[in-house]
Amino acid sequence: MQAVADPRVYRMRPDRQKAVKGCLRYTRIKFGIFLSGLSVFAQLYLFQPMLTLLCKEFDITPAHSSLAVSACTVGMASGLFLFAFKADRFPRKKLMVSSMILSTILTLISATVRNFELLIAINFLKGIVLSGVSAVALAYLSEEVDAKSLGQSISLYLAGNTMGGMMGRVGATLMSGWWGWQWATVGIGAGSLILGLVFAHVFPESRHFSPGKVQTRKKLEHMGQFLRDPLIVRLYFVAALIMGAFVSVYNYLGFRLEGAPFYLPHYLIAFIFLMYTTGVAGSLVTGKWSDRHPADKILRVFMLLLVPGLLFLLTKSVGLIIIGLGIFTFAFFGAHTMASRMVAQQAKHGKSTATSLYWLFYYLGSSLVGSTTGLALQKWNWEIFIGVLFLLVLGSLLLVKPKK
């Protein structure tokens, strides 16, 4: 006669209660985490495709207008640093829901402002709020999802990030071209609010995490260790440089295509953001190659691919520019995926702290480089601007030393 398992033993083994493929809880986690990625990244880069309209609305330069994007990413970086110490004091789901709902309120408020400095302040605050989702999403998945199913759930979260960034940009470009930047902002804010409400309904509460006091001293010790590790520090600066170059391209390419000799309408420019799909491919290729080739070699290959992507952007052919943008986006996401993975592998202890610092450099690069490169475009021309980006890529290549 077959023995019947004692349910008390099952309750004593919390690892067996983790979500696995096929169960309802896993499906709800997958769906919810995808929605969170859509909401966060649709709002984070909301103003990127509308910079030309902000220039006209507030009578500012392209470099000045980019602060609408940079303020949000600086806020994200600041929030991630703060949540590195505070996130474990709050229930995971409560923090994520609060962040998603409050951020949409800030997005809707930003549609009503008539002062650019106030818009920057709201976007900075929104970036801090949005970081509440990014700070705990991967931790939640690692705690609540069975190890055999974890890879797919993380991939879905990252896919949600990419899709949110792409769809938010395409939607904002189309709506702003037809109805103005204010209504585009309302549209993205309202859509993100719906995503937040659905997320709150379907996403399960944590079973394997209880809020508690964070050991600040231990966190600071880990940070000090990582900032003294030569490889990790180089990877942090690689992330900052290539992310800065990537954001710069997407910040200012719209200005290039709207002017001579292209004069493209907004609804065609909107579709350049569909190139984000090549970024998904870049991340997937990285995953396959990483099992067969050295990590530093893969990283250098992707970073070298950034160069032809930039060269195509110098042409006066829309077709070649699209090809170049596809290559550049593919290479960036591949390099970013590999660099972040190398950081996690290099950190033997305190992996969450190591990756938090990676994201801090990543978003600071987005903010600082993404805005300052606009000065080159403003003072000189598109060719000099691309030359500056080439120097950034060259600098990142010099930071990646091959293993002996």
| DSSP state letters, 165-231 | HHHHHHHHHHHHHHH-HHHHHHHHHHHHHHHHHHHHHHSPPPSS-------HHHHHHHHHHHHT-HH
Last residue of a domain, one of 209, 236, 266: 209
Residues 77-111 have pLDDT tens digits of 999 888 888 888 889 899 999 999 999 999 999 99
CATH number for the domain harbouring residue 115:
1.20.1250.20
For residue 5, tell me if it sits in a domain.
no
14 belongs to a structural domain: no
**Would 12 be classed as within a structural domain?**
no
Mark whether 163 and 45 lie in a shared domain: yes
pLDDT in tens, 276-314: 888 878 877 877 787 678 888 999 999 999 999 999 999
Distance separating alpha carbons of residues 157 and 153, to the nearest angstrom: 6
Q: Give the percent of the chain with pLDDT over 90.
A: 52
> Where does a domain end: 153, 186, 209?
209
274 and 205 within one domain: no
Q: What is the pLDDT of residue 268?
A: 87
User: What DSSP letter does each residue of 254-303 carry, written as one string?
Assistant: HHHHHSTTT---HHHHGGGGGGHHHHHHHHHHHHHHTTTS-HHHHHHHHH
CB 357, CB 236: distance < 8 Å = yes
pLDDT at position 340 is: 83
Better-scored residue on pLDDT, 164 or 325: 325
Res. 162 pLDDT band, cuts 50 70 90: confident
Which of residues 209, 226, 254 is at a domain's end? 209
189 in the same domain as 83: yes
Q: Does the structure show a pLDDT above 70 at 398?
A: yes
Pairwise CA distance, residues 289 & 59, whole Å: 48
- Domain limits at 308? 215-404
- Residue 28 in any domain: the answer is yes
Q: How many domains does the chain have?
A: 2
pLDDT at residue 109, rounded to an integer: 97
User: Are 283 and 331 in contact, with CB atoms under 8 Å apart?
Assistant: no
301: in domain: yes
Q: Is the pLDDT of residue 9 over 80?
A: no
Regarding whether 385 and 339 lie in a shared domain, the answer is yes
| 139 and 286 share one domain | no
Query: Is 383 part of any domain?
Result: yes
Report residue 331 CA to chain centroid gap: 15
Both 171 and 314 in a single domain?
no
Q: Are residues 43 and 192 in the same domain?
A: yes
- Extract the tokens encoding 253: 């390419």
Residue 118's pLDDT band (cuts 50, 70, 90): very high
**Same domain flag for 294 and 245:** yes
Confidence class of residue 1 from pLDDT cuts 50, 70 and 90? very low
Domain presence at residue 6: no
Question: What contacts 24+ positions apart, CB below 8 Å, involve 22-26?
Answer: 25/204, 26/145, 26/146, 26/149, 26/153
How far apart (Å, rounded) are the C-alpha atoms in residues 238 and 153? 27
Say what the pLDDT of residue 4 is: 42
Residues 280 and 189 reside in one and the same domain: no
Is 4 inside a domain boundary? no
- Does 151 lie in the same domain as 203? yes
Phi, psi of 196 (to 5 degrees): -65, -40
Q: Do 315 and 340 lie in a common domain?
A: yes
Same domain, 287 and 321: yes
Question: Is the Cα torsion angle 258, 41, 107, 168 positive or negative in sign?
Answer: positive
Per-residue pLDDT tens digits for 194-248: 999 999 999 999 888 888 777 788 888 888 999 999 999 999 999 999 999 999 9
